[in-house]
Amino acid sequence: MERSPLSEAILEIISSIPSGKVATYGQIAELAGNKKAARLVVWLLNSSSDKHDLPWHRVINRLGKISLETGYELQKEMLQLEGVQFGKNDVIDLNKYGWVSFDQEK
């Protein structure tokens, strides 16, 4: 499925996310080389998440929230099992649990 180098890079990055941390789409896209390929990340997760054993639950939007509507509860649960704590609005503190937090990434 990884026909393009970008997809390959993204998959690589996603599988590199350590347990107990989360990453945002834009972040992954940026690390992969195209900071605007967030949608590509989405596509990859949908197309190769279970096929590749990817930690799709560690990928969230830039607000530290899960955009999914289905399976959202499950994803949240999995993250909590890894030690990620959610805020009151189910928001994850990216400065704390972000794989590369916005303050440290640069």
Binding site for DNA (CB under 7 A): 1, 3-4, 6-7, 24-26, 34, 36-43, 45-47, 49, 56-57, 59-63, 66-68, 75
Q: For DNA, give the closer residue by CB, 33 or 96.
A: 33
The dihedral sign for the CA sequence 96, 85, 59, 50: positive
Per the structure block, which two tokens stand in for 15?
């599988």
Cite the DSSP H helix spans in the chain: 5-16, 25-32, 38-48, 72-81, 94-97
Q: For DNA, give the closer residue by CB, 5 or 83.
A: 5
Q: For DNA, give the closer residue by CB, 26 or 96.
A: 26
CB 33, min distance to DNA, A:
9
Cβ of 95: how many Cβ atoms within 10 Å? 11
CB 45, min distance to DNA, A:
4
CB 51, min distance to DNA, A:
11
User: Which residues, 6 or more positions from 36, have their beta carbon under 8 angstroms from its beta carbon?
Assistant: 29
